[in-house]
Each structure stands twice: as structure tokens, then as C-alpha cells.
Amino acid sequence: MKYFFYSNRLLLCGLLLAASAGNVLATLGQAPSPPGASSSTPAQWPGTRKLAVVPAVPSSLYSLHESQLENGTMIREYTTLAGVVFAVAWRGPVLPDLSALLGGYFNAFKLGVEQARLSGKRGSPVNVQRDGLVIKSSGRMRNFFGYAYAPELVPAGVNINDVLQ
């Protein structure tokens, strides 16, 4: 019982840290929203500056949008031609708000982390592959990095390993 309480406490602390660390612009599985969008959804990320919208590859199979949070963390969102975010990546001094970044995929992430903790795996890095979600996250204070993608959303002809280098 003591182990169960301790592992749940660690999971809760990690999730609270992730949720309070900062805001992002993209949400996996949804269309990217420009800052100042007039919706009440999590598309209004205070403290976000849109830096660039650049094509990631000349083949035009997807687009790459880069944003920087006020805390210095860079967010890269990869979108299909239809405008759906199929992958996100981050690098910076602060871990982004993973609940906002993963959107509807956050519960799969939470369950994957909980299962890893129950099997004795603690700390960094985090590797989750379940329920249509692949996420790898690592780092330490002032140097966090990682990515997440939904395999079913990756456009045909795109090698996700090349994209997320």
C-alpha cells in the first residue's frame, strides 16, 4: 500500500509540474491556432510568440510551424496538408504544458506513465507507446526536449523518424 501511495504521489507531482510549466500553441490531432484566436478553446496560449511558418520539406507533404514561449521553450508543430497537427516537438528550459500539447491524447500518456511507474521505472526519460500515441520526453532543469506523434495521423509517404530528427 505504501508503494502504491508513493507512486501515485510521484505521478501526481509530475503531472502538476507539466501542467503548470508553461503554455503551448499546438494541440496534437487538431488544427494549429494562431495567437489571439477568438475561441474559448486552449488555442489562446498567453505568452506565445509565433516565430515562423516554414515548409519542412520541399515535397510539401506537411508543414512545420515553430513557436517560442516567453520562457524560451521552442515548440514545433507538424501539420498535414489538411491542417491537422500529427506531431509536436519541444526543446527549451521549461517543459511545456503536456496536457495542452497532447489534447485528447493526454490520457493515453498519463496511463503509459502510470504503468511505467508501477513497473518500477521512475524519472527521465519518458517513453510511451500506446493508444495511437508515441511520446519521448527527456531532460533536466533548463534543458527539456521531446516529441509526440499520432501514428494514424502521419501523412502517407512521410518517414516520422526523418521528420523528428
Residue 118 has pLDDT above 90, yes or no: no
Four-point Cα dihedral 52, 56, 57, 59, nearest 10? -90
Give 53-93 pLDDT, tens digit per residue: 444 444 579 988 888 888 999 999 999 989 899 999 999 99
Average pLDDT over residues 46-59: 50
Average pLDDT over residues 105-133: 86
Tally Cβ neighbours within 10 Å of residue 2.
Answer: 6
pTM: 0.71
CA dihedral for 33, 68, 150, 154, sign (positive or negative): positive
Give the pLDDT band (50/70/90) at residue 26: low
Q: What is the pLDDT of residue 21?
A: 39
